[in-house]
Amino acid sequence: MLRKTFWGTAAFASLVLAAPSLAQTIGFSQIGSESGWRAAETTLTHQQAEERGIDLKFADAQQKQENQIKALRSFIAQGVDAILLAPVVATGWESVLEEAKEAEIPVVLLDRTVDAPEDLYLTAVTSDLVHEGNVAGQWLVDAVAGEPCNVVELQGTTGSSPAIDRKAGFEEAIAGHDNVKIIRSQTGDFTRTKGKEVMESFLKAEDGGRNICALYAHNDDMAVGAIQAIKEAGLKPGDDILVVSIDAVPDIFKAMAEGEANATVELTPNMAGPAFDALAAYMTNGTTPPKWIQTESKLYTQEDDPMAVYEQKKGLGY
């Protein structure tokens, strides 16, 4: 947070003082810092820009669309070469995107899409939430290898699109494998506390956990909470109960290193890398990228040297 504030200030100072430079200048309008993942995305965007020698102008919108629109207008006025936008909401972007288009500044959407005509932006770099659920489900199907397995599911916040899509993807993967069955599914609000509390109730309701073969959590935080509940109930997470979740935040790698979690599917915070690559191709060769660049939903298991991944991810601001 401190770090980000510093960047915000630095970015602002550079907005005021910026002298025209030879390097590419790209504006980045970030939603805010509501989660560790978002913080990591910001960190990685800065890193990726630095690696490529790009002058990144960063604006933190603090969860407000009007701040983002203001930031975009300011980027346009300064004549940046391109704009990255992580939109806080889906609607209301047409006019400012048209302004960018008139100024011939390509806009790349990060992490989320908008409800606007496709010709108003160059491309959108996002992950596929359904696919993530699917990868998790596929791992479980493979792991149990035909043995009967009762799954308990910790859903994300009821009604949110990650909760809906990750559930759908998982169910899609286990469809047709009658040995794998979801026996309980409850929301854990994406938090550790609720994840732990709900897992405690699952354990009570399912014969002290003896009836549970695996846990599928819609994010790692809930899984981390649930792992503690499993341990406190006297069972071995990762062994008595398999644990698979999504996001790949550092703490789940620690749990994997300790054998308490089995697998996680990465929602990569590196949305900027593919975006910069697409922009570079577009600007140098005029290659138009597809309208949707899907980031990789990489599966990590205990075999992937989780401690090394942990060390590598730890500094990203998760």
Partner 1 sequence: MSRTREFLRRILPQLVTLAAVLGLIAAVYPGFFEVSMANGRLYGSLIDILNRGAPVALLAIGMTLVIATRGIDLSVGAIMAICGAVAAAAITSGLGLAAALGLALAAGLACGLWNGLLVVLFGIQPIVATLILMVAGRGIAQLVTEGAILTFTHEGLIFLGSGAVFGVPTPVLIWFAAGALALLVVRRTALGMLIEAVGINRRAGALAGVGAGALIVAVYMVSGLCAGMAGVIAAADIRGADANNAGLWLELDAILAVVIGGTSLLGGRFSIAASLIGAMIIQSVNTGILLSGFPPEFNLIIKAAIIIVILVLQSPRLRAGPRLRRPGGRVRGASAAEKKERVTS
The residue among 107, 140, 123 whose CA lies nearest residue 216 is 140
Choices 64-72, 86-94, 169-177, 197-205; region in contact with partner 1 by CB under 8 A: 197-205
Smallest distance from the beta carbon of 18 to partner 1, in angstroms?
27
Smallest distance from the beta carbon of 122 to partner 1, in angstroms?
30
Question: For the sheet containing 180-187, what is the strand order?
Answer: 180-187, 149-155, 214-217, 242-247, 263-266, 299-301
Q: Specify the residue, 100 or 243, whose C-beta has the smaller distance to partner 1.
A: 243
- The phi, psi pair for 222, rounded to 5°, reads -60, -40
Choices 74-82, 183-191, 240-248, 301-309; region in contact with partner 1 by CB under 8 A: 183-191
How many amino acids of this chain bind partner 1 (CB under 8 A)? 40
Q: Specify the residue, 14 or 228, whose C-beta has the smaller distance to partner 1.
A: 228
Fill in the per-residue mask, 147 to 166: x = in contact with partner 1 (CB under 8 A), - = not in contact.
Answer: --------x--xx-------
Smallest distance from the beta carbon of 211 to partner 1, in angstroms?
12
Are 5 and 52 in contact, with CB atoms under 8 Å apart?
no
Per CB under 8 A, 45 contacts partner 1: no
Per CB under 8 A, 63 contacts partner 1: no
Q: Specify the residue, 201 or 288, whose C-beta has the smaller distance to partner 1.
A: 201
Give the residue, chosen from 64, 181, 204, 210, that forms a contact with partner 1 under the rule CB under 8 A. 204
Q: Specify the residue, 73 or 204, whose C-beta has the smaller distance to partner 1.
A: 204
Q: Specify the residue, 251 or 266, whose C-beta has the smaller distance to partner 1.
A: 251
Contacts of 2 (CB under 8 A, 6+ apart): none
Q: Specify the residue, 2 or 22, whose C-beta has the smaller distance to partner 1.
A: 2
74-103 residues in contact with partner 1 (CB under 8 A) are: none
Q: Specify the residue, 122 or 229, whose C-beta has the smaller distance to partner 1.
A: 229
Choices 45-53, 98-106, 113-121, 226-234; region in contact with partner 1 by CB under 8 A: 226-234
Per CB under 8 A, 208 contacts partner 1: yes
Which residues lie near partner 1 (CB under 8 A)?
A: 1-4, 33-36, 39, 155, 158-159, 184-187, 189-193, 196-198, 200-202, 204-205, 208, 221, 224-225, 228, 232-234, 251, 317-318
